[in-house]
Amino acid sequence: DIQMTQSPSTLAASVGDTVTITCRASQNILDWLAWYQQKPGKAPKLLISKASDLETGVPSRFSGTGSGTEFTLTISSLQVDDFATYYCQQYSSYQYTFGQGTKLEI
């Protein structure tokens, strides 16, 4: 299976900051990568598909880059609503896998 490794596991930031979360794949997944945001007690929300395609309705302060094995999610001008847990997920193979998550804390 393709392993997805996210870093950091926890990230402390302040409103207005810009933060970056990294996701590494154990093998080449081209750009078949999605990013999700999850808040406590809620289902995950799709933010980005195909490594960099922003889902409709997602604020433009979210952006994704990367291809192959290394990917980043950047959130600029952090808002209070952005404090949540973020997951990457590969869908290059039919055995999907998630990263272990990054908790973004105030």
Residues from 2 through 31 that contact other proteins (CB under 8 A): none
Plot region of 69 (φ>0 → left; ψ -120 to 50 → alpha; else → beta): alpha
Q: Which is nearer to other proteins, 77 or 100 (CB)?
A: 100
Q: Which is nearer to other proteins, 17 or 83 (CB)?
A: 83
Helix (H, G, I), strand (E, B) or coil at 44: coil
Place of tokens 């997805």: 4
Would you state the structure tokens that stand for residue 46, as one six-digit string? 């799709």
Regarding 34 and contact with other proteins (CB under 8 A), the answer is: yes
CB of 85 to other proteins, least distance (A): 9
Q: Which is nearer to other proteins, 48 or 78 (CB)?
A: 48
Give the Cα separation of 64 and 78 in Å (integer). Answer: 15
Interaction site with other proteins (CB under 8 A):
1, 34-36, 38, 43-46, 48-50, 53, 55, 87, 89, 91, 94-101
